[in-house]
Copies of this chain bind each other. A is one copy, B any other.
Amino acid sequence: MWKRDLQECNQRIAPFIHKTPVLTSRLINQVAGAEVYFKCENFQRMGAYKIRGATFAILRLSDKQRAGGVVTHSSGNFAQALSLAARSLGINAYIVMPETAPKVKKDAVLQYGGKITECEPTLSARNAMAQKIQRDKGATFIHPSNDMDVIIGQGTVGMELLKEQPGLQHIFSPVGGGGLIAGTALAAHYFGKNCRVIGGEPYEADDAFRSLQSGKIEGNETTNTIADGLKTVLGDKNFPIIREYADRIIRVTEADIVQAMRLIWERMKIIAEPSAAVALAAALREKETFAGKKIGIIISGGNVDLSQLPF
């Protein structure tokens, strides 16, 4: 059903994204006891896979819709991604951000040409502001993770990884709002050979783990995690896909995350953000299960504040 969408997306977004490498590390293979392939979206444009979904969502709009621009609420990578994708495609991007968002995040959005509107740091203020912009500007709302075009866009990460390594038995993805793991699960379903997708999620923000257990979308009880991209919760578009096509979710501690991040930095000499290290952390947490297997790990992004490192 979504196979053709993934194929279409893969072709249409190609001119607007980088072809990211798949890297390996002899030493990490030893540590994991497995054959590990890292899909390096930290080298993607604006430093994260989110540019894929943002670009595809805009490409799917009609000319009339494009004229009004796009709007989203995010203070993370999706805000930057939508700003950059909009600029590449010559349209306006309106970003609703809480007035409490750090200056460094606002600057990043401005650098990519996004137009920031600040609001009070509440869910209702955020939604009201996004609706106001839709009315006033005729902008189309694009959700960072609970949007079918966005999910398909993020699915191209897994497609590319499977194209290079068709024999992968598992792919590990971090789980935040659910867009990446849903897209990855679809990619594995249509393009893998019995490839099972596993999510990594912090214990400190384990809404997705509990949602899969209860069968309905759960909120977070805490969000006290260094993986700041994974504090959001699943949505009604991606949750059914994750339930049907993803295998399961492995939870990791904060210490697991820092350790995995250090391993990537020290051994691969590349910069992965904490949220990106969660996928490797999950694979290592149950390394006995995956011993001897051929596994893919999505390094989802590399946007870190070097003044705030956990080392």
In chain A between 255 and 311, which residues have their CB closer than 8 angstroms to a CB of chain B? 262, 265-266, 269-271, 302, 306-307, 309, 311
Q: How far is the CA of A306 from the CA of B277 in the complex (A)?
A: 16
Number of A interface residues at 8 Å Cβ cutoff, please give it: 15
Q: Nearest chain-B residue to A23 (Cβ)?
A: B43
Bound-state Cα–Cα, A307 to B265, Å: 12
Complex interface residues of chain A between 85 and 110 (CB less than 8 A to chain B): none
Determine which of B21, B265, B307 lies in contact with A271 in the assembled complex, contact meaning CB atoms within 8 Å: B265
Q: Are A265 and B47 interface neighbours, CB within 8 A? A: no
Closest Cβ of chain B to A112, distance in Å, is: 11
Are B309 and A306 touching (Cβ within 8 A)?
yes
The residue of chain B having its C-beta at the shortest distance from the C-beta of A44 within the complex is B269
By a CB distance below 8 angstroms, the chain B residues around A270 are 269-271
Query: Which of these, B43, B266, B302, contacts A306 with CB under 8 Å?
Result: B266
Name the residue in A42, A266, A269, A309 with the highest tally of chain B Cβ atoms < 10 Å from its Cβ. A269
Least Cβ–Cβ distance between A15 and chain B, in angstroms: 15
Q: Which residues of B contact A307 (CB under 8 A)?
A: 311
- Report the Cα distance A306→B269, complex, angstroms: 11
A67 → chain B, closest Cβ, in Å?
28
* Residues of chain B lying within 8 A (CB to CB) of residue A21: 21
Instruction: Verify A269–B271 contact, CB threshold 8 A.
Output: yes
A109 to B269, CA, bound (A): 18
Separation of A311 and B265 alpha carbons in the complex (Å): 15
Q: Is the CB of B269 within 8 A of A302?
A: yes
**Contact status B262-A306, CB under 8 Å:** yes
Please state if B309 and A269 are interface contacts (CB–CB under 8 Å): no
The answer on a CB contact under 8 Å between B269 and A47 is yes
Complex Cα gap A265–B42 (Å): 11
Q: Hey, which chain B residues are within 8 Å of A42, CB to CB?
A: 269
Shortest distance between the CB of A105 and any CB in chain B (Å): 14
Residues of B within 8 A of A271 (CB): 265, 269-271
- Top-10 shortest CB links A-B: A269-B302, A306-B311, A269-B271, A42-B269, A270-B270, A307-B311, A43-B269, A265-B271, A269-B270, A265-B306
Q: List 16 A-B contacts (CB under 8 A).
A: A21-B21, A42-B269, A43-B269, A47-B269, A262-B306, A265-B271, A265-B306, A266-B306, A269-B270, A270-B271, A271-B271, A306-B309, A306-B311, A307-B311, A309-B309, A309-B311
Excluding A47-B269, A269-B270, A270-B270, 13 further A-B contacts by CB distance (< 8 Å) are A21-B21, A42-B269, A43-B269, A262-B306, A265-B306, A266-B306, A269-B271, A269-B302, A270-B271, A271-B271, A306-B309, A306-B311, A309-B311
